[in-house]
Amino acid sequence: MSLTSGLRPLPRSDAEAPPLHVAIIMDGNGRWAKARGLPRTLGHRAGVTALKRTVEAAQQLGVGRLTVFGFSTENWSRPAQEVSELMSLPKLYFESDLARLRREGVRVRVIGRRAGLSKDVLSMIDEAETTTAANTRFHLQVAFNYGGRADIADAARRLAEAVREGRLDPAAIDEAAFESHLSTAEHAAPDLIIRTSGERRLSNFLLWETAYAELVFQDVLWPDYGPAQLKAALDEFRGRDRRYGGADVDDVLATG
């Protein structure tokens, strides 16, 4: 079974199971800055440092794939100065850490719409993806100018175009076919979704892919995040009973 076939993440008990996939909604940069009397832009820059710590920690804690939410399609509505700062963050991150990522076998992939991104940001994304394309030790997926609804709409449009051009029979469209047209099709769905800052919502992140993911909400602002917080989330995840919509065998036997 390929990593991209079917929506449901595979159980972790099998030694043949794919690497653990963790996704993080990195929330709280603005509140972190406000609490310190700093501009929000400095909170976002502190968040880049937290991302570096967390990527390194994920590699050490047995995570094989990490997806992070960097900029949503809804973030364009923020003040122009903040949008400009957010747009610069991928460049800031990759310029400062790409050499290490490449050296340590990390493959970088950026998902989300390219429209609206500046040439320098697009160039940096292309460099990060191209120079790490052969790496397999760890996968880092950055959702940038990404929205779950937008991705679903884009996938539906691609399917509709395939039908119109005679390349696809509408009767062949099932969940697997639809999923293969999402920007996340290269990897299995996440096993665990983490959101920081104490908020308890998905905010349009990986809406299709989270159907059977475990959710952990942590009351820590993203710039303060690091190895200890990630380990705590993983410990909680590993204590969960994942049923994928089925019933617990003991419960079934008990009720006859």
List pLDDT tens digits, range 161-176.
999 999 999 999 999 9
Tell me what the mean pLDDT of segment 9-23 comes to.
62
Q: What is the DSSP letter of 19?
A: P
Give 68's contacts (C-beta < 8 A, 6+ positions apart): 23, 24, 26, 51, 54, 140, 141, 142, 143
247: confidence class by pLDDT, cuts 50, 70, 90: low
**pTM for the whole structure:** 0.87
Q: Copy the structure tokens of residue 83.
A: 């949008």
220: confidence class by pLDDT, cuts 50, 70, 90: very high
pLDDT at position 246: 67
31: confidence class by pLDDT, cuts 50, 70, 90: very high
Residue-wise pLDDT tens digits, 171-201: 999 999 999 999 999 888 999 999 999 999 9
Q: What is the mean pLDDT of the chain?
A: 89
pLDDT at position 75: 85
Domains and CATH numbers, the chain: 20-149+188-255 (3.40.1180.10)
pLDDT at position 66: 98
pLDDT at position 201: 95
248: confidence class by pLDDT, cuts 50, 70, 90: low
27 catalytic, yes or no? yes
Statement: residue 7 has pLDDT above 90 = no
Report for 15-19, 112-116, 246-250: range of highest mean pLDDT: 112-116
Tell me what the mean pLDDT of segment 42-46 comes to.
94
75 catalytic, yes or no? yes
Catalytic member of 14, 29, 75, 248: 75
Asked whether 46 and 32 are in contact (CB, 8 A), the reply is yes
DSSP 136-171: -SEEEEEEEEE-HHHHHHHHHHHHHHHHHTTSS-GG
Q: Distance (Å, rounded) from C-alpha 102 to C-alpha 41?
A: 27
Catalytic member of 14, 27, 120, 219: 27
Statement: residue 108 has pLDDT above 70 = yes
pLDDT at position 149: 97
Statement: residue 9 has pLDDT above 60 = no
Residue 57 CA, distance from chain mean position: 16
Residue-wise pLDDT tens digits, 46-97: 999 999 999 999 999 999 999 999 988 888 888 888 888 888 888 889 989 9
Q: Distance (Å, rounded) from C-alpha 189 to C-alpha 205?
A: 12
Statement: residue 208 has pLDDT above 90 = yes
pLDDT at position 254: 54
